[in-house]
Amino acid sequence: MVRSAAGGGPGHGTLQGHDAAASALARLSSSLKPQLGTRLPAVLSVRVLLFILVVVLSLGVLVPIVSRSRSDLNAVRTSQTVPRLPHTANLHLGTNWRRYSLPQAAQAVASDGVLIVCTVSQPYLEFLNNWLISLARQNRHQAALIIAEDYATLDFVNTRWPGHAVLIPPALHEESNLRFGSQGFFNLTSRRPQYLLEILELGYSVLYNDVDMVWLADPFSYFKNKRDVYITDDMAMIKPEDHSHALPPPGKNGRTYICSCMLYLRPTEGAKLLMRAWIKELQERQWSPSHKTNDQPAFNWALNKTAGQVDVYLLPQVAFPSGGLYFKNETWRQETANKHVIVHNNYVVGSEKKLKRFRNHNLWFVEVDAGLSPLSEKGG
Ligand SMILES: *[C@@H]1O[C@H](CO)[C@@H](O)[C@H](O)[C@H]1NC(C)=O
Ligand SMILES: *[C@@H]1O[C@H](CO)[C@@H](O)[C@H](O)[C@H]1NC(C)=O
Ligand SMILES: *[C@@H]1O[C@H](CO)[C@@H](O)[C@H](O)[C@H]1NC(C)=O
């Protein structure tokens, strides 16, 4: 099973317990804190006092010190807390995100009929932030719709970036056992084709990404020629740069190793047929203690069974490499530098290892490009 060996996305690694989730949230909150206007009083300290001092001294005015500094403070405060007009304002939802539906969310954030979707639970908020920064570097973040698996994630995203997260009930329970290979994990990942189908039926194209990916370039120029579905191979074996763009031949399990981690789907009958086939395969390949499956084998069987009815396009490996290739072969990585578009931090298990690996490869944008995060109050 490639995905367990690969230890794919956050979806595919081991989901941590509630404590880890709470601490991840706390870490992210504190890393975003300096940009939060509401925390201004705490931030005022040194920089603002120096600013006031310079103003006061340069004007040579000593008498109205008190009122003067107060108005400077207000000027600073105003400039840093100008409320952003959420583009969901027309929905009149206020902060009642719990009743925000997928059609409303899709309508609010889609750009040119396209949505960029990921799924996130609380332990992976930092990875979400990293992924969003990589989208923001390409100026594509505005079309991002985050499917929150729990209410903490829903509220966290929507209070900072109104309208960009939606929760499709039922929410994940904290006590759910979501380790890779568990039944809860299967249940969770099994929902993916259902909401992708719903988005297609609403008429949008959708780019789905696991949240342990980063963009190094804009992928949209690859989604051309109006195919139904664009897929990537999860194999690490190097292919010639002019490899075929057809569905590859089955591997040793009798099926292909296409990643369900990164999909571009157009709202065509072919793409919808594939989603329905995926849902059916999942129903027929239920999790059991002796068959600890997840969503990916079912996706590959669906590709197999709909072959000829769905126009699939295998994206170039050099642009969309698996983590088993990108992170494990430095020679290849250097030879193909500047050709990489979306990199997947899989073939490693656990969020600490994923984070360390991103950091070692200068892909932990949370630290180097924090100013671009749409999850800081000035972002979006
Ligand atoms: C997973 O789904 C099945 C079938 O709907 C259900 O019986 C089971 O309780 C669920 N298990 C978990 C851990 O969510
Ligand atoms: C579908 O899977 C079967 C069994 O592994 C295989 O023989 C067949 O070639 C596959 N079809 C396609 C189109 O990949
Ligand atoms: C790593 O990449 C180089 C250059 O593309 C290739 O020649 C070599 O076989 C690869 N190594 C492995 C272990 O795949």
Residue 49 confidence (pLDDT) above 70: no
Separation of CA 316 and ligand 3 centre (Å): 17
Q: Which residues contact 370 (CB under 8 A, 6 or more apart)?
A: 31, 32, 35, 133, 376
329 lines ligand 3 (CB under 6 A): yes
Per-residue model confidence (pLDDT) at position 176: 54
Instruction: Specify the ligand 3 atom closest to the Cα of 329.
Output: 1
The burial of 96, by beta-carbon neighbours within 10 Å (0-12 exposed, 13-18 middle, 19 or more buried), is given as exposed
Alpha-carbon span 349 to 24, nearest angstrom: 17
Give 2-21 pLDDT, tens digit per residue: 343 344 444 343 333 345 55
Instruction: Specify the ligand 2 atom closest to the Cα of 255.
Output: 5
Residue 126 confidence (pLDDT) above 70: yes
Q: Looking at ligand 1, which residue's alpha carbon is closest to its atom 14?
A: 184
Mean pLDDT of 295-319: 96
Give 53-87 pLDDT, tens digit per residue: 554 445 444 333 333 333 333 333 333 333 334 44
Residue with tokens 């996130």: 120
Per-residue model confidence (pLDDT) at position 294: 78
What residue ranges line ligand 1, CB within 6 angstroms?
176, 183-184, 187
Residue 94 confidence (pLDDT) above 50: yes
Question: Which ligand places an atom closest to the C-alpha of 238?
Answer: 3
Range picked from 93-102, 135-144, 176-185 for highest mean pLDDT = 135-144
Separation of CA 11 and ligand 3 centre (Å): 28
Instruction: Specify the ligand 1 atom closest to the Cα of 182.
Output: 13
Residue with tokens 């057809």: 246
- 223 falls in which pLDDT band (50, 70, 90)? very high
More confident residue, 323 or 98: 323
Q: What is the DSSP string of 140-152?
A: -GGGEEEEESSHH
Task: For domain 2-34+86-372, give its CATH number from 3.40.47.10, 3.40.50.720, 3.30.565.10, 3.90.550.10.
Answer: 3.90.550.10
Question: Which ligand places an atom closest to the C-alpha of 287?
Answer: 1
More confident residue, 151 or 16: 151
Instruction: Specify the ligand 2 atom closest to the Cα of 308.
Output: 13
Residue length, the chain? 380
- Cα 178 to chain centroid, rounded: 19
Hey, is 117 helix, strand or coil? strand
Annotated domain spans of the chain: 2-34+86-372
Mean pLDDT of 264-273: 98
Residue 44 confidence (pLDDT) above 80: no
Give 342-374 pLDDT, tens digit per residue: 999 999 988 899 999 999 999 999 999 999 999
More confident residue, 186 or 175: 186
Q: What is the DSSP string of 179-196?
A: -TTSHHHHHHHTTHHHHH
335 lines ligand 3 (CB under 6 A): yes
Q: What is the DSSP string of 309-375?
A: TB-EEEPPTTTS--HHHHTT-HHHHHHTTT---EEE--SS-SHHHHHHHHHHTT--HHHH-GGG-TT
Question: Which ligand places an atom closest to the C-alpha of 282?
Answer: 1
Tell me if 37 sits within 8 A of 159, measured CB to CB.
no
Q: What is the DSSP string of 37-99?
A: GGGHHHHHHHHHHHHHHHHHHHHT--TTHHHHHHHHHHHHHHHHHPPP--TTGGG--TT-GGG
Hey, is 262 helix, strand or coil? strand
Tell me if 80 sits within 8 A of 37, measured CB to CB.
yes
Separation of CA 287 and ligand 1 centre (Å): 9
Instruction: Specify the ligand 2 atom closest to the Cα of 256.
Output: 14
> What secondary structure letter does DSSP report for 5?
H
Residue 89 confidence (pLDDT) above 90: no
Q: Looking at ligand 3, which residue's alpha carbon is closest to its atom 4?
A: 332
Per-residue model confidence (pLDDT) at position 83: 36
User: Model's pTM, two decimal places?
Assistant: 0.80
Mean pLDDT of the chain: 81
How far is CA 162 from each of CA 88, 130, 169, 171, 298, rounded to the nearest angstrom? 7, 18, 19, 19, 34
- 184 falls in which pLDDT band (50, 70, 90)? confident
